[in-house]
Structure 1
Amino acid sequence: MIKQIDNRGPLFILSAAAFLSVLDIFIVNVALPTIKKDISATEADIQMVIAGYLLGYAVFLITGARAGDYYGKKRVYVISMCCFTLTSLFCGIAQTPMQLNISRSLQGISAAFMVPQSLAYIQLLFPDQAARVKALGFYGSVAGIASVIGQFLGGFLPEVHFSNVLFAHMDGWRLIFLINIPLGIAAATTAYLYLKESKVAPTGKFDFSGVALLSLALLFLVYPLIRGRELGWPLWSVGLLVSSFLLLYGFVKHQQAKMKRGLSTLINVYLFRYPDFKMGLFIALFYFIAQDSYFLITGLLLQDGLNVSSSETGLLFVFQGIGYVLGAVISVHLIGKYGRKIIQLAVLLMMGSLVLHGILFSVSGLDWYLSYPLLLMYGVGCGSVLPSIMSLALQRIPGDLAGSASGLYSTVQQAAIALGIGITGGVFFSFLEEQTNKAAFVNAYIGATGVNILALGAVLFFLYRLPKELKPELLPEKA
């Protein structure tokens, strides 16, 4: 007999998915230099530690959401939480870069099945709109807290050393994955005991062919961007890049053909008839290319280039998190009054912060401690932009398409982060060329930051192109 508690209890249980999935995106950022040294990883290997997780997450996110309809949300949530916990163990005990990257990819796939169930459950547990908004707000705040805690722990844990017999040979960075184990066990157990199973309502067959096409397209796009540079751009890497665009084109045509035949599809191509949704996807693409690659190159510069400790680097990124919270709180009130101008100003603030980053690190004699206010400034910009761009993309999507639209948006978001790691990280390492002096790191940082500034410039362009108002006769008619 399943025990029942009020909806606040299940909300805490379900929020564990948000906490763990976001924690494992941010917790590795600061720890990467330590991981690289300990397992003798290459530059491409450490890029894949982030990109592998995000690719697994992105490719299976929509499929994960559909799985709950077929097999029951509780069942999928508990199983995927157990898989996430197990793959976290594999990450923590990995001895080679290949073992770590395979485990990280599986961890991302587990998150892709876990997170959609938690969001869907909130819709069921809180049918009242006002209560649902509060619940989703709490869920989102848990994710925000996880990003800040992740960056702090990612800097602190690598400096933890065990001296007793049991853990004599365990390096501290492994704890960034192993701490998921007690949390995951607690979340899976409480979910099994206290969550009520949802009704199973399958609507057609899984689009396995669509999953395969999208998986290959994203893999062929990101993997050669990361590995190709390190190997001197062999012919196979160029071939994969070309193939990725052909596969993406084929994927869209494949989805269109299946929709015309009335078959289940991975995405609803009807969504692309909404101009603001299309612009919103471009905004998300370029924004997330810039945002998370920032942590990769800044962490590498501070630790490997400026000899800042991992704990101090983690504390610096916490300031970015504080700025994010401030920006999110302030922008909620300002955007309601001034509209997208606030978002555009926030993007300019991020771009200005990045320019000042380059000046600070390149001017000899300036102390790196001055980067605290710059990270705070960057965080304020992020906090003002990120919560709003999804709303801009989805604002005119009808209710029956909202689930498909949010799933596609989230897929683009995760894939863009992986793409940013490949592009911006690749530019950073291309400039560095295995040099270890401060000047080389600073030059590499400025070159890679230039890519991120260009990406944010593209965000401004698409924000400008975003339709302000659509007349009713210009809205698409359903087929």
Structure 2
Amino acid sequence: MTSQLLGTPGPHAPTTTEARQGKRTTKGTGWRALPFLALAQFMVVLDGTIVNLALPRLQLEMGISDSTRAWVVTAYALVFGAFLLLGGRISDFWGRKRTFITASAGFAAASLIGGLAQQPWELIGARALQGIFAALLAPAALALLTVAFPGGKDRGTAFAIFGSISGVGAAVGVLLGGFLTEFVSWRWCFFVNVPIAVIALLGVWSLVRESKAAGSTKYDWPGVVLAALGLGSLVYGFANAEHGWGAVDSWGFVAAGALLLVLFVAVERKVKNPLLPLHVATERNRGAAFLASFLAGAVLIGGILFINFYLQIVLGFAPFAAGIASLPMTVVLIITAGIVAKNLPRLGAKVPSALGPVFMAAAMLWLTRVTPDGTYAVNMLPALVLMGIGLGLVFVPMQNLALFGVDKDDAGVASALVNASQQIGGSLGIALFSTIAAAAASAAGGDTLAALTSGYSMVFLWAAGVAVLIAPIALLLIRIDRKTFSGTSDTPHTHLG
């Protein structure tokens, strides 16, 4: 058990006493390493939103045009999404600890460059570098967690903590970005990553030994190129769709991305050492988790964006006040995730995965009642509480299920697929919801507060529809029983792979 987490097998088969001691050692090491692994995931998700509230002031100080401003956000998402699968395979082949440490150091350096940038191209380049290192860091962190907690109740609890970070990081990014921009400087939206990355690096360096895939470590370069171009094209097309689907740089890139990914699947079926072994993605239980992560990412990232638009533009909240206003969702999410984790062996994956989307949809439907003269207590607070409950119910079982039964040699690439699902879902959510909001606002009369609110209301209605789709996916595709899922069954869970 120790060798599964921390490195290669020892020179002799362990005795019963040694095995028990190794199990206790692994368990203790895993729990000590968990805060540092979760911290890295927190940083990666944080950087998807922390710059958003800083954009207006950043643009003014650096003299950036409106068209260039969008690249401050898009560059990170584009590179992150494009290289996630490669990052997962690098962590499997090169070593997960080595990849984690390198990526943490690189992310800190890229953040420092972004904070010191004097020219727009320097800032955008730093964001792209952050995306590259995030594509290495995120799958390495989740792969290390997967190997550290191979099954049982401890795995559920560890994944609950790690999984809730996705929702917490996005919400805290808004809060922290607003605070730093308003009271310090937008540059600290970059500098803040440096101590976080260093702490995570030192923790993993001191607590975790190396783990990597056994056997052949040849890279599937045709798959690498097709996956990077396909995922990158999708993210780029979705990002540009905010300005309308009629342009070639929106629908054209989305279509090209879809075609490239079809070719990628065809290649993966033929090559000897695929970048993405298809059984990782196509097993029905894990497939449900990846689809749910995709849709939940769209609702979470897209929904948070328009919740903050309403708070700041319509209700007139300052950036930091808007961040504070979103805290109830974060607090409720953490509480719900803890409750779900504790009861996950009894509940199984299907029940919370199907129930969570109902709460998410209810939150979005409540938000459709927003008005120009609305109030936070009436229009927003109940929805934020419902959203926190829904996300906590969905993220905990889905993070567990997405990596359940995956061979430890494929832990990195499976972890990358979870992150890629959420990233692409979030990009699609922002693009789709931005287009819907613009069309609805235009039909309602332009840029007045009433028209903007009408656009936001339509966005929340569509977001409710997207959330509802998660429930039938969970009900129809999840077939794993509670005992197998909780690790208490006599049947080895590796049969899912």
TM over 0.5: yes
CA distance, structure 2, for counterparts of residue 337 and residue 136 of structure 1: 15
Q: Once structures 1 and 2 are overlaid, which stretch shifts more, 394-403 or 213-222? A: 394-403
CA distance, structure 2, for counterparts of residue 91 and residue 116 of structure 1: 23
Is 2:196 the partner of 1:183? yes
Identity %: 26
Aligned to 1:460: 471
CA distance, structure 2, for counterparts of residue 122 and residue 378 of structure 1: 26
CA distance, structure 1, for counterparts of residue 231 and residue 327 of structure 2: 31
Q: Once structures 1 and 2 are overlaid, which stretch shifts more, 441-450 or 244-253? A: 441-450
Is 2:135 the partner of 1:112? yes
Q: What is the aligned-residue RMSD (CA, Å)? A: 3.7
CA contact (8 A) 1:151 1:318 kept: no
Aligned to 1:297: 306
Unaligned runs of 5+ in 1: 1-5, 162-171
CA contact (8 A) 1:303 1:313 kept: yes
CA contact (8 A) 2:237 2:253 kept: yes
- The alignment's TM-score, normalised by the length of structure 1, stands at 0.80
Aligned to 1:65: 88
Aligned to 2:177: 154
Unaligned runs of 5+ in 2: 1-27, 482-492
Aligned to 2:385: 376
Aligned to 1:76: 99
Aligned to 1:419: 428
Aligned to 2:359: 349
| Cα gap change, 1:212 to 1:460, in 2 (>3 Å) | same
How many angstroms does 1:366 deviate by? 3.0
Aligned to 1:438: 449
How many angstroms does 1:215 deviate by? 1.6
Aligned to 2:397: 388
In the TM superposition, what whole-angstrom CA distance separates every residue of 1:388-423 from its partner, at most 9, and x where no partner exists?
234455556677766654442332222222222222
For the residue of structure 2 that corresponds to 1:206, the secondary structure is: coil
Is 2:99 the partner of 1:86? no
How many angstroms does 1:191 deviate by? 5.2
Q: Once structures 1 and 2 are overlaid, which stretch shifts more, 421-430 or 398-407? A: 398-407
CA contact (8 A) 2:95 2:211 kept: yes
The one-letter code sitting in structure 2 at the alignment partner of 1:71 is W
In the TM superposition, what whole-angstrom CA distance separates every residue of 1:165-196 from its partner, at most 9, and x where no partner exists?
xxxxxxx2221111112333444456556654
Aligned to 1:246: 259
CA distance, structure 1, for counterparts of residue 149 and residue 281 of structure 2: 30
Q: How many residues align?
A: 454
| Cα gap change, 1:64 to 1:393, in 2 (>3 Å) | closer
CA distance, structure 1, for counterparts of residue 494 and residue 148 of structure 2: 33
In the TM superposition, what whole-angstrom CA distance separates every residue of 1:457-479 from its partner, at most 9, and x where no partner exists?
32233234225469xxxx99999
Aligned to 1:266: 275
| Cα gap change, 1:199 to 1:384, in 2 (>3 Å) | closer
The one-letter code sitting in structure 2 at the alignment partner of 1:213 is L
CA contact (8 A) 2:91 2:99 kept: yes
How many angstroms does 1:66 deviate by? 2.7
Describe how 1:321-340 pairs up with structure 2 within 5 A. Answer: 321-332=330-341, 336-337=346-347, 340=350
| Cα gap change, 1:257 to 1:476, in 2 (>3 Å) | farther
Q: Once structures 1 and 2 are overlaid, which stretch shifts more, 275-284 or 75-84? A: 275-284
Aligned to 1:167: none
For the residue of structure 1 that corresponds to 2:114, the secondary structure is: helix
CA distance, structure 2, for counterparts of residue 243 and residue 122 of structure 1: 35
Aligned to 1:169: none
For the residue of structure 1 that corresponds to 2:263, the secondary structure is: helix
The one-letter code sitting in structure 2 at the alignment partner of 1:442 is T
The one-letter code sitting in structure 1 at the alignment partner of 2:462 is V
| Cα gap change, 1:298 to 1:42, in 2 (>3 Å) | farther
| Cα gap change, 1:386 to 1:476, in 2 (>3 Å) | closer
